[in-house]
């Protein structure tokens, strides 16, 4: 569940890549002692609206992952934003102390995280990322995030999301 809008045009993942993606997420979550519930939707959950419709939840419960890169340092920044929210780049730069920040291209997201746009989970990435969590997500009892593929989601409580990501809750929305 990534940023709303055009998709990256990638075809379906092969079964080995899908299995590896889901295992990386499962290891991170179960390894942290958090119960894991993954749901798969053949129709896809690439956008926040798709995910909310498939799950039957409020779009605000969707924890979408958006990846940015600092132009100067090359550092990756993962923002876990509430489904309807857009990220304010100026706020993000102030919160991270990094800048200028730009949203990463889909092929760069896959290279950095190991996951395709629309399936980037909050954990299990190939590389370390600075992580910020949209404060609007904290008002819900249960959140739904990508589980490593564009057609799978996992449920997680907000406090567990903060704990397993070591992310900082911040005001990042426009």
The pLDDT of residue 158 is: 97
Cα Rg of the chain (Å, integer): 14
pLDDT over 80 (residue 90): yes
Determine which helix (DSSP H) or strand (DSSP E) holds 47, and give its type and residue range: none
Mean pLDDT of 107-113: 93
**CATH architecture assigned to 15-170:** Alpha-Beta Complex (3.90)
| Cβ burial 131-167 (10 Å sphere, 16+ → b, else e) | bbbbbbbeebeebbbbbbbbbbbbbbebebbbebbeb
pLDDT at res. 21: 73
How does the average pLDDT of the chain come out, rounded? 88
pLDDT value for 82: 98
pLDDT of residue 9: 38
Segments making up each domain of the chain, as ranges: 15-170
Structure confidence by residue, pLDDT tens digits, 27-55: 889 888 998 888 888 887 778 998 899 99
C-beta of residue 58 within 8 angstroms of C-beta of residue 136: no
Please determine, for residue 19, whether its predicted confidence score (pLDDT) is greater than 80.
no
Neighbours of 85 (CB within 10 A): 21
pLDDT of residue 20: 76
Is beta strand 38-40 parallel, antiparallel or unpaired with respect to 152-156? antiparallel
pTM of the shown model: 0.87
């Amino acid at each position: 569940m990534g940023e709303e809008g055009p998709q990256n045009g990638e075809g379906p993942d092969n079964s080995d890549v899908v299995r590896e993606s889901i295992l990386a997420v499962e290891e991170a979550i179960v390894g942290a002692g958090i119960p894991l519930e993954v749901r798969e939707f053949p129709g896809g959950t690439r956008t926040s609206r798709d995910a909310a419709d498939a799950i039957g939840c409020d779009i605000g419960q969707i924890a979408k992952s958006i990846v940015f890169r600092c132009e100067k340092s090359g550092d990756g920044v993962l923002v876990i934003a509430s489904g309807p929210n857009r990220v304010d780049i100026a706020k993000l730069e102030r919160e991270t102390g990094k800048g200028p920040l730009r949203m990463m291209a889909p092929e760069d997201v896959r290279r950095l995280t190991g996951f395709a746009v629309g399936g980037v989970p909050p954990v299990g990435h190939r590389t370390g990322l600075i992580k910020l969590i949209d404060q609007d997500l904290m008002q819900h009892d249960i959140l739904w995030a990508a589980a490593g593929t564009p057609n799978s989601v996992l449920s997680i409580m907000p406090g567990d999301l903060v704990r397993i990501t070591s992310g900082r809750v911040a005001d990042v929305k426009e």
